[in-house]
């Protein structure tokens, strides 16, 4: 008989403990905790301005937390030097809020960029082209390889940004609002793509979203970030049927 492992029993690939971050008087994170397990889709929801992007930027070392520990694949990132941090970063794919493609580069150059920075493959033009094409193909956009970002729709840009992140085959994916600004059908396509990627590579994903549909479809577990802390943790079903007014508010209104 095949044994289903409980998500909670799986290896922890990313752990945040007691994270604090403030900007002047603005105390954004106030002792936030989370654990991401191998192969898990963990959704983080929180109101606009609650600190979701700040938290994710602390995770990849783009921002320095005031206090707390962040462990990525058993390594404390606050104790790593730039070089070690860089190596670790190549295992983490980060889809920024709003895509953030390099506007002056073609789609091909956008995808080559992380390869040049993190691998040796870019020295071999043929392998590079094949990898770029294959990765674009996995998001359904092989035909855009020589276009500029300005020639793409919002949904296509998001896919190319996703391809640029996937090209290094990260073990952990961090998505900051992957469906924001997209129409419901395109959002659904992106969600399906995220699910495909998770299945294909057994990636562990942290997904920040305020899209309740996205959370329902994709999450194994959810964390609600309220008042700078992990206010509630549970499955979509558990949280969406909660009687706590602060939790209920998330599932009733568009944030």
Ligand X SMILES: Nc1ncnc2c1ncn2[C@@H]1O[C@H](COP(=O)(O)OP(=O)(O)OP(=O)(O)O)[C@@H](O)[C@H]1O
Binding stretches for ligand X (CB under 6 A): 23, 26, 28, 46, 48-54, 97
Place of tokens 């961090």: 174
Place of tokens 């080559």: 112
Contact region for Mg ion (CB under 5 A) — 10-18, 31-39, 53-61, 219-227? 53-61
Q: Is position 209 an interface residue for Mg ion (rule: CB under 5 A)?
A: no
Contact region for Mg ion (CB under 5 A) — 3-11, 72-80, 89-97, 150-158? 89-97
- Judged by CB under 5 A, how many residues of this single chain contact Mg ion? 3
User: Cβ 210 to Mg ion, closest distance in Å?
Assistant: 9
Q: Please, which residue, 27 or 90, has the CB nearer to ligand X?
A: 27
Question: What CA–CA distance (Å, rounded) separates 247 from 103?
Answer: 39
Q: Please, which residue, 28 or 172, has the CB nearer to ligand X?
A: 28
Figure out which of the listed residues 41, 50, 53, 144 binds Mg ion, where binding follows CB under 5 A: 53
Q: Please, which residue, 29 or 218, has the CB nearer to ligand X?
A: 29
Q: Please, which residue, 56 or 172, has the CB nearer to ligand X?
A: 56
Residue nearest to Mg ion (CB): 53
How far from chain centre, in Å, is Cα 52? 11
6 binds, among ligand X, Mg ion, none (CB under 5 to 8 A by kind): none
User: Cβ 20 to Mg ion, closest distance in Å?
Assistant: 18
């Amino acid at each position: 008989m095949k044994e289903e492992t409980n998500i909670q029993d799986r290896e922890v690939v990313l752990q945040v403990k007691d994270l604090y971050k403030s900007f002047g008087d603005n105390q954004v994170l106030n002792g936030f905790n989370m654990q991401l397990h191998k192969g898990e889709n963990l959704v983080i929801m929180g109101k606009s301005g609650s600190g979701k992007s700040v938290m994710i930027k602390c995770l990849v070392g783009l921002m320095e937390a005031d206090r707390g520990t962040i462990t990525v694949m058993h390594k404390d990132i606050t104790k790593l030097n730039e070089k070690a941090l860089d190596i670790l970063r190549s295992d983490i794919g980060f889809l920024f809020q709003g895509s953030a493609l390099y506007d002056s580069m073609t789609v091909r150059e956008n995808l080559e960029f992380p390869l040049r920075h993190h691998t040796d493959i870019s020295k071999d033009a043929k392998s590079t082209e094949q990898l770029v094409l294959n990765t674009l193909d996995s998001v359904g956009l092989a035909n855009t390889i020589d276009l500029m970002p300005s020639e793409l729709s919002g949904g296509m840009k998001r896919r190319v940004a996703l391809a640029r992140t996937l090209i290094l085959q990260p073990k952990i994916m961090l998505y900051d609002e992957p469906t924001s600004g997209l129409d419901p059908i395109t959002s659904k396509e992106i969600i399906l793509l995220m699910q495909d990627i998770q299945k294909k590579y057994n990636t562990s994903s942290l997904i920040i979203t305020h899209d309740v549909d996205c959370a329902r479809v994709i999450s194994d577990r959810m964390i609600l970030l309220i008042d700078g802390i992990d206010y509630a943790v549970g499955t979509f079903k558990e949280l969406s049927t909660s009687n706590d007014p602060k939790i209920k508010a998330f599932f009733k209104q568009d944030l």
